[in-house]
Amino acid sequence: VQLQAASKEQLTQYESDLKSAYQRLQEDQLTLDLTRGKPSADQVSIANKLDGILNGNYVSDSGVDTRNYGGPNGLPEMRALGGEILDIPASNVIAAGNSSLMLMYLTALMHYMYGLEGENATWQGMKKPKFICPVPGYDRHFSICENLGIEMITVPMTENGPDMDTIEALIKSDDEIIGLWCVPKYSNPTGVIYSEETVERIAKLGQIAHPLFRVFWDNAYAAHDLNDQPAPLANLWQLAQSAGTENSIWMFASSSKITFAGAGVAWVAGSDKNLKALQKLLSIAIIGFDKVNHLRHARLFPDMAALRTQMREHARYIRPKFDAVLTSLDVNLSEFGSWTNADGGYFVSFDTAPGLAKKVVSLAADAGVKLTPAGATFPYGNDPEDRNIRIAPTFPKTEDVEKAMEVFCICVKLATVQHRLASLAS
C-alpha cells in the first residue's frame, strides 16, 4: 500500500492486517529492551585484561605508587590519555573517578553555588539562569539543569550540529544564558558530528555571552567510531585559544564505553582558571581518585593506537546491531518516518509523523518491547511534536534487536495508519 495515495478502504484493510500481525507478536510474550545505551557483556569483556594487568606492580612509569594518597589531578599517564581523547594538553586535564556525568554535575553545581569569578558571580545569583539544550539530546544533561532549577531553552539539531544562527541570536538577546550542552561527536541520540564551522562558532560564543557562560563539551563518544574512516572533529580548545575564550569551555569524557561502563576513568578539562576553581572544590571532597584503576588503564592503553584497537573490537560487536536496526527501518518504514544513520556512537534517532511517538512506545510496550520513553530526548520529557524515539541497540543480542525491530516497525505502521484513518474520518 502506498500510504499517501491509499483510499479509506485500503487503509482499513491495511489496519486490520497490521492488527493481526501485532496480535501474533503479542502472543510471543516477548521481553525485549531497546532502551539501554550501554555496552553488551561481549563489549565489556574486551577489557577483561584489566584484571590482573598490574601483576603486583603498582608503581607507574611516572614513578607514582598508585596505592597511596596523593596526586589530586590523577595519574600523569591518564591525564595524557584524556588530553589525547579531548584534544587538549594533559596539563589542562584532571583524570578522575569512573563517571563523567558526575563531573558535569559537580562542575555545574560549582558554578551554581560557588562561582569562580569572585563573590556574586554564581549562577544562582542570577534572576533566571538558562541553558541552551540542542534537541533531541541526552536526558541526563537535562536532569542536571532541572535539578538546579536552570531553565532550558531548546534549539534544533541540524546535520552539522546545533543550529548556530539561533544560538547566537539567543545569546545576544538574553544575557542570562549561562550554558550550552554539546555532545560534539556522534551526538546522543542523532549521531551527528559537529562541523568545523559549528565548532568555530561555538568557540566564539564566549565573546558575545555573559562572562559566566560555559560550554559543556561532553565528548562521550570521542573514540566510538563504527567505520574505519571517521570524520574528524575540529579542535575546540585551539579555536577557543585563538578566540580568547578558553574560560568559556569545559570538556568531559570517560572510558565508560571503552573499558568497563561501571569502572572506567573519567576526565574533565578546561582552562587554568577553571581547573583551579574545580581543584579547590575537589580537594574538599576527595584526597585523590582511584589511581590503581588509572594505572590499570594506562597499562591497557599505553598509547592512542592501543585504544583505537580496542574501539575497533567494540565496533565489531556493535555494527551488526546497527545494521539490524537500519535494515529493518529501510525495508519497512520509508513512508512512515525518518531516522539517522550514524558512523559511530550508540544510537539511532527515529522520528515518527507528528503526534505518534508516545503511541508507538505504548504499543511496543504492550507487545513486550521496551523503548526509551517518548519525550526523554527533550527537556522536561516534553517533545512538543511527540515524534522522537531513541533506539539503543548495543545491549541486546543481534537476534533480539532484529525481533524488537520487527515489533517496532509494526507499531509505527499501525499507529500511522490509525492516525491517517482518524484524520480521514474527521
Ligand X SMILES: Cc1ncc(COP(=O)(O)O)c(C=O)c1O
- Binding residues (CB under 6 A) for ligand X: these are 37, 99-101, 138, 183, 188, 218, 220, 254, 256, 266
Contact 414, 18 (CB under 8 A): yes
CB of 181 to ligand X, least distance (A): 9
CA distance 71 to 371: 43
Measured from the CB atom, the residue of 3 and 106 that comes closer to ligand X is 106
CB of 130 to ligand X, least distance (A): 20
Measured from the CB atom, the residue of 22 and 347 that comes closer to ligand X is 347
CB of 351 to ligand X, least distance (A): 19
Contacts of 24 (CB under 8 A, 6+ apart): none
Measured from the CB atom, the residue of 18 and 251 that comes closer to ligand X is 251
CB of 100 to ligand X, least distance (A): 3
CA distance 36 to 188: 12
CB of 138 to ligand X, least distance (A): 4
What residues are paired with 212 via a beta bridge? none
CB of 218 to ligand X, least distance (A): 5
CA distance 272 to 187: 27
Grid cell digits, residue 44: 565489556
Q: Which amino acid is at 79?
A: R
Q: Which ranges of 95-235 does DSSP label H, i.e. alpha helix? A: 100-113, 139-148, 164-173, 196-208
Measured from the CB atom, the residue of 25 and 182 that comes closer to ligand X is 182
> What CA–CA distances, in Å, run from 269 to 20, 24, 28, 86, 288?
55, 52, 49, 8, 17
Instruction: Dump the DSSP string for 50-111.
Output: GTTTTTT--B-TT--BTTSS--TT--HHHHHHHHHHHTS-GGGEEE-SS-HHHHHHHHHHHH
CB atoms within 10 A of CB 310: 20
CB of 29 to ligand X, least distance (A): 29
Measured from the CB atom, the residue of 131 and 138 that comes closer to ligand X is 138
CA atoms within 13 A on the CB side of 286: 15
Measured from the CB atom, the residue of 47 and 101 that comes closer to ligand X is 101
User: ∠ CA(145), CA(235), CA(197), 5° rounding?
Assistant: 80
Measured from the CB atom, the residue of 23 and 147 that comes closer to ligand X is 147
> What CA–CA distances, in Å, run from 99 to 85, 251, 296, 377?
16, 13, 16, 21
CA distance 83 to 222: 12
Contacts of 49 (CB under 8 A, 6+ apart): 300
Contact 345, 221 (CB under 8 A): yes
Which of 327, 256, 329 is CA-nearest to residue 96? 256
CB of 252 to ligand X, least distance (A): 7
What residues are paired with 339 via a beta bridge? 350
Measured from the CB atom, the residue of 11 and 44 that comes closer to ligand X is 44
Grid cell digits, residue 146: 532541572
CB of 187 to ligand X, least distance (A): 8
CB of 133 to ligand X, least distance (A): 12
